[in-house]
Amino acid sequence: MKVNVKKLNENAKLPVYGSSSAAGADLYACSDHEVQAGETVFVHTGIAIELPLGTVGLIYARSGLACKQGLAPANKVGVIDCDYRGEIIVALHNHGKEMRRVALGDRIAQLVIAPYYTARFEEAETLSETVRGEGGFGSTGRK
């Protein structure tokens, strides 16, 4: 699938897959930042993308950055709608206890492109029965 990417800044880098089977393409910081413990900063990528109709761009944490440095998207999963043409900006939160630095060119998140469905929501008096029923949080067991 071809995805058009527009550089909005000369320091911007296009997304890059880390391996031939990677689901997520790395997104790169387009500027330097200090992220204090407990703080969220908006990290510019300097790019805008044109996603194909019927797809969504999902912004996920990079596992190493999140687990080793405590830096992950503040909203857990960012959503880029296919009609959005503005800059991709990652709200990066420092979950750790120490200040962290994000440097120009650092990998800050990963972009997964996925298909989606647009639902037609209809009010109903009843819903179909299932074995689980209304069982919620933890209702399917502990192991």
The whole-angstrom separation of Cα 46 and Cα 35 is 19
Phi, psi of 78 (to 5 degrees): -85, 150
Q: How confident is the model over 5-56, as pLDDT tens digits?
A: 999 999 999 999 999 999 999 999 999 999 999 999 999 999 999 999 999 9
What's the pLDDT score for residue 131? 85
The whole-angstrom separation of Cα 99 and Cα 93 is 11
- Note whether 92 and 44 are within 8 A (CB): no
| Of 23 and 137, the one with more pLDDT | 23
What's the pLDDT score for residue 79? 97
Q: How confident is the model over 101-124, as pLDDT tens digits?
A: 999 999 999 999 999 999 999 999
Domain definitions of the chain by residue range? 4-115
Decide if pLDDT at 57 tops 90. Answer: yes
Per residue, the 3-state secondary structure of 66-106, as one string, reads HHHHCEEECCCCEEECCCCCCCCEEEEEECCCCCEEECCCC
Neighbours of 74 (CB within 10 A): 15
Domain 4-115 has CATH 2.70.40.10: yes
